Structure 1
Amino acid sequence: MNADDTPGEPPRCLVTGATGYIGGRLVPELLAAGYRVRCLARTPGKLRDHPWAADVEIVRGDVTDDASMAAALREVDVAYYLVHALGSGKHFEETDRRAAHVFARQARAAGVRRLVYLGGLTPAGVPERELSPHLRSRAEVGRILLGSGVPTTVLRAAVILGSGSASFEMLRYLTERLPVMVTPSWVRTRIQPVAVRDVLRSLVGSADMPAEVNRAFDIGGPEVLTYRDMMLRYARVAGLPRRLVVPVPVLSPGLSSQWVGLVTPVPASLARPLAESLRHEVVCREHDIAAYVPDPPGHPLGFDEAVRLALQRVKDAQVTTRWSSASVPGAPSDPLPTDPGWAGGSLYTDEREITVNASPQALWRVIEGIGGENGWYSFPLAWAVRGRLDRLFGGVGLRRGRRDAERLRAGDSLDFWRVEEIERGRLLRLRAEMRLPGLAWLEMYAEQNGDGRTRYRQRALFHPHGLLGQAYWWGVSPFHALVFGGMARNIARAAARTPAPVPPPSGATP
């Protein structure tokens, strides 16, 4: 325990990189394990939408600045170093080196009893100077922290399987968007991927290691696979047709990173170093971590189960204000508010907003009355044709109508939609049950501006399934202005003609 702690209080952990992929998922795991948590962020406001934000101490700081790190590390027992300059430019190695030295120096001065760092798995027998810049920098940071004078745990992982992980997102997009792939030779490279749940379990368990432990541990899943194996098995778990993967030797790491950037939304600043790292075989040489953090039954998770968990949120058809910001993540595999916009798979949106010359109550009456005999307020022929096509391909079509002409409730069928969520007076979210190569939602909001005017907001969202889903979205997008734009305008006009409900007389029973 740190000398400045009050006796009887649980240890305090500092999590750097709390806005990052691993950091944001580690915090709730530490809280669940009973630790007090302090989060360091250069922009603390990025953490405010996390469900755990009120349960932690959030401080502003930068790992390259001695003063802010000295303040952040004060009264800390265990400090997690989860920051990397990868993606910040060509000088990221120097930035990583400088930050690691600052962190190590200030941790020793503050009396921190343990450092925990998540680095990269490195290939056996390859001199550090021959590693890719990405792996070389992670190995150097690990050495700096191990030599800090503070007992340190360095965990070394290869590809981490979980929604939001840059490596996993590369795998996701390449597999989903390309049924036939002419690929770089690194698809033959052997890799030992690991589920994000097992990474977090090892990170939490490392906080309680004995003081004499000062070393690195390899962490990985139970299977060693090539990148080609991972793409083929991802396709199988995701329910995609079998992919044809044709490796060619002419794609250098530089060219292949450009190829990845063309096919996926992962930024080139991340794709290039990750692609360069894939030329190295990264397989665990030991599993000594189990002596300090025992594997529970069923762990470490296999590749298929890890992918299934990473895709679970999509399969459960949950959509929120933005694909990568779930209201309360139920598991480490779920998306988080601080995940980048390219994480979590493609989500295409069509958004409309219009000021309505009516009260919010009148607007809501129109929204809640949509479908059935009232129709969909735009291009009736297009909706009718879509309904007939849906029936032709075995779907429900438009014949289901509504349960009630005026009121809706969660779970109701509504033509070829299902009411997924309703916040009466504000939000109606519908999930499509028509035949589609993907998942689709329609959201309608009745809101009031700061100046008291009524606003109608509408969002259509589509999560494509494979290349057919991508083609479907871009094939129908030219008609969105006619269908969705017309819907927004006509709903606003209908609301302007709809009287607001009259409140019952005073004393009357509603």
Structure 2
Amino acid sequence: MTTSTATSTPFVPGTVLVTGATGYIGGLLVPRLLDAGWRVRALTRSAERLRSAEWADRVEIVEGDVTSGSDLRAALSGVDVAYYLVHSMDGGGDLARRDRELAEGFATAAADEGVSRIVYLGGLHPEGADLSVHLASRVEVGQVLLDAPVPAAVLQAAVVLGDGSVSFDMLRHLTERLPAMVAPQWLRNRIQPIAVDDALHYLVGAAGLPAEVNRTFDIGGPEVLTYEEMIQRFAAVNGLHRRLIVGVPVLTPWLASHWVGIITPVAADVAKPLVGSLVHEVVRREQDLDELVGLPAHGLIGFDDAVRRAMRTARPDHVLRDVLTVTAATIASAATGGVATQPDSRWYRSLDLPSWQPPPLAFPLVWTPLYADIAASSVATLSRLEAEGRGDEAAAYRRALWVNLVLNTGWSVVFWRVRRPTLAALEAGVLAVSSADLARRAGAAGGRGRWALVPYAAWTAFAAALSTAIARRNR
């Protein structure tokens, strides 16, 4: 670690406490601190969640909650530097009040235990702007720490480029999944992103700042880009065609965050603070931390190199492929079934139908939304399974879907064209079993749409019963 030029006394790392060690930045920061010679203590609500980390046997794990004063004091006892990496990313409750109270409690406990410095990572923002609730809360948390007795270094960053960073995930998936998009005009605001390795360099260096330093520091990479330019650069680095982006003035941050929640794996509540920060131009106003802790040995990493590094460990994203193939297969199944269906044929009118047979008009009214449900739910299920690294389950679901669509199409051909009600009843039964299995697989994948295929399974079960009744009455 680069020592400060403000003192001639060699800096000797002591003990640090890292809160948020189960998070993205915290999990990467711990090994960097260990490599720099610090003794690391990690505070977590669940020690079990940290035991699988590669560095778990090199740190002291303390189980506790940042909402508990006694837990905080126990964790901060004997600590020289405390990293406060706690953020509320959901939209529940009074977010600003909750974050403020947590920061005040942490600062008080740190002062009581004689901590020498607090380091916090907040959001880069323009002075005097009307900030979103989330970004304003982060700014307020930073000010709470600066006003406390313990000296604080409040680092402020914009988009962090790294595999696992939520802001990078949003950029990546928007670019990969949308060859063309309608986007708000504020995607042309300037942003200064930073590679995660450079952000970690600054965070580690901040622990050794002189005792009198108590202030904010802007951190960022060597390039200033618009979000639109970041999308196009990401596409170019990853061999994708240039994206078509049409700007519109009416897409509000609230609407945009929900749109992001639909298109990407980033939930709308998590996307909201990210989208809210893009409304503003977020560019470094000073480079003072560069002088105090020095630049990384390799220099600051440019945008393209940061993206390449992040994508080395990123799981492949097949959502665009899944959207195209699943949609095409579902449409083909629906179209083939529609062409095969002949409700006005003399043969069909000659059949003895049960009294509970729905009128012909009911079938297109039911099947149209069901086909849409199959396509949308299947894409969402495959996306979730692949994003979570459950590739075997995704492959099994995809095979089950193809079988189901073939059976779906086959029934129409066998019943309406081949005119074999008994054989059609047998196939309808197999289709019902296949549909129930598909719904089960979607449910096992989890997520908001885990019950979405239940109506399809229920309808095919009804169709199997109806088909069986027709076969029996027309032997």
Classify the TM-score, shorter chain.
0.5 to 0.7
Partner of 2:231: 231
> How far did 1:125 drift?
3.9
Following superposition, which runs of at least 4 residues in structure 1 exceed 4 angstroms of deviation? Answer: 344-348, 473-477
1:258 corresponds to 2:258: yes
In the alignment, structure 1 residue 58 sits paired with structure 2 residue 61 = yes
- The amino acid across from 1:313 in the alignment is T
Aligned residue number for residue 46 of structure 2: 43
Secondary structure at 1:200 match in 2: helix
Within the candidate set 389, 392, 397, 1:459 is matched to 392
Q: Which is worse superposed, 184-193 or 194-203?
A: 184-193
Instruction: Choose between structure 1 and 2: higher helix proportion.
Output: 2
Partners of 2:196 and 2:13 lie apart in 1 by 25
1:182-331 matches, within 5 Å, as: 182-314=182-314
Separation (CA, whole Å) in 2 of partners of 1:458 and 1:254: 33
AA aligned opposite 2:154: V
Shift of 1:19: 0.6
Segments of structure 1 that go 5 or more residues without pairing to the other structure are 1-7, 315-322, 324-343, 349-439, 444-456, 463-472, 483-510
Identify which of 75, 82, 104 aligns with 1:79: 82
Match 1:11 to one of 10, 14, 22:
14
- 1:507 aligns with none
Tell me the secondary structure at the aligned position of residue 222 of structure 1: coil
Cα pair 1:105 1:148 within 8 Å, conserved: yes
Alignment deviations for residues 38-77 of structure 1 (CA, whole Å, 9 cap, x no partner): 0011122111111111111111122222111011100000
Q: How does 1:85-100 map to 2 (within 5 A)?
A: 85-87=88-90, 89-100=92-103
CA offset at residue 213 of structure 1?
A: 0.8
* Native 8 Å contact 1:15 1:39 kept in 2: yes
TM-score normalised according to structure 1 size:
0.61
AA of the residue aligned to 2:226: T
Q: Does the 8 A contact of 1:347 with 1:461 survive in 2?
A: no
Aligned equivalents of 2:270 and 2:93: distance in 1?
11
Q: Does the aligned pair in 1 maintain the 2:80–2:115 contact within 8 Å?
A: yes
Question: Does the 8 Å contact 1:160/1:193 carry over to 2?
Answer: yes
1:250 Cα shift? 1.3
Within 2, Cα distance between the matches of 1:242 and 1:476? 32
Structure 2: distance between partners of 1:141 and 1:345: 35
- Superposition pairs for residues 108-123 of structure 1, below 5 Å? 108-123=111-126
Deviation for aligned residue 1:215:
0.8
Counterpart position of 2:420 = none
Preserved CA contact (<8 Å) 1:159 1:168: yes
Query: Is the alpha carbon distance of 1:10 and 1:89 closer, same or farther for their aligned partners in structure 2, counting shifts above 3 Å?
Result: same
User: For the structure 1 residues 10 and 288, does the alpha-carbon distance in structure 2 shift closer, same or farther, using more than 3 Å as the test?
Assistant: closer
Equivalent of 1:29 in 32, 37, 43 = 32
Q: 3-state SS of the aligned residue for 2:86?
A: coil
Q: Cα offset for 1:296?
A: 3.1
Q: 1:347 to 1:42 in 2, by over 3 A?
A: farther
Alignment: residue pair count? 331
Give the letter for the 2:392 counterpart.
R
Specify the structure having the higher radius of gyration (Cα).
2
Residues 1:131 and 2:134 are matched in the alignment = no
Q: Please name the residue that 2:156 is paired with.
A: 156
1 CA distance for matches of 2:36 and 2:261?
39
Query: What is the Cα deviation at residue 151 of structure 1?
Result: 1.3
Cα distance change on mapping 1:145 and 1:479 into 2, 3 Å: same
Say whether the 8 Å CA contact 2:19–2:42 is kept in structure 1: yes
Match in the other structure for 1:379: none
Quick one: which amino acid aligns to residue 160 of structure 2?
I
Matched residue SS, 1:95: helix
* SS in structure 1 of the partner of residue 139 of structure 2: helix
Tell me which residue corresponds to 2:175.
175
The one-letter code sitting in structure 2 at the alignment partner of 1:30 is: L
Decide whether the 8 Å contact of 2:201 with 2:296 is kept in 1.
Answer: no
Partner of 1:479: 402
Q: CA 1:9–1:120 in structure 2 vs 1: closer, same or farther (change >3 Å)? A: closer
* C-alpha distance in structure 2 between counterparts of 1:458 and 1:143, whole Å: 45
Partner of 1:366: none
Describe the shift of the 1:285–1:478 C-alpha distance in structure 2 as closer, same or farther (beyond 3 A).
same
Q: For residues 125 and 92 of structure 1, what CA distance do their matches in structure 2 show?
A: 21
User: In 2 relative to 1, CA 181–475 (structure 1 residues): closer, same or farther, beyond 3 Å?
Assistant: farther
Structure 2 Cα separation of the partners of residues 256 and 168 of structure 1: 16
The secondary structure found in structure 2 opposite 1:211 is coil
Q: Secondary structure at the match of 1:59?
A: strand
- The 1:37/1:135 distance shift into structure 2, 3 A limit, reads same
1:321-400 map, 5 Å: none
After superposition, the CA RMSD in angstroms is: 2.8
Q: Distance in 1 between matches of 2:199 and 2:312?
A: 19
Matches of 1:287 and 1:226 in 2, distance apart?
A: 20
Letter in 2 for 1:87: D
What residue identity is the alignment partner of 1:211?
A: A
Residue 298 (structure 1) shift: 3.7
Q: Offset at 1:187?
A: 1.1
Q: Tell me if the contact between 1:202 and 1:293 (Cα under 8 Å) persists in the aligned partners.
A: yes
Relative to 1, partners in 2 of residues 1:179 and 1:474: Cα closer, same or farther, differing over 3 Å?
A: farther
Preserved CA contact (<8 Å) 2:198 2:296: no
SS at match of 2:300: coil
Q: Percent identity at matched positions?
A: 55
How far, CA to CA, are the matches of 1:345 and 1:271 in structure 2? Answer: 19
Q: TM-score, normalised by structure 2?
A: 0.65
2:41 and 2:61 in contact (8 A); partners too: yes
- Is contact 2:44-2:61 (8 Å) kept? yes
* Secondary structure of 1:169's aligned partner: helix
Whole-angstrom CA distance in 1 between matches of 2:113 and 2:391: 52
Query: CA offset at residue 12 of structure 1?
Result: 0.6
Q: Is residue 172–residue 345 contact of structure 1 (8 Å, CA) maintained in 2? A: no
Q: Work out the CA distance in 2 between the residues paired with 1:225 and 1:476.
A: 43
Q: Which residue of 1 aligns with 2:437?
A: none
Deviations 1:260-300 (A, max 9, x none): 11101111111122212211111100010011111134421
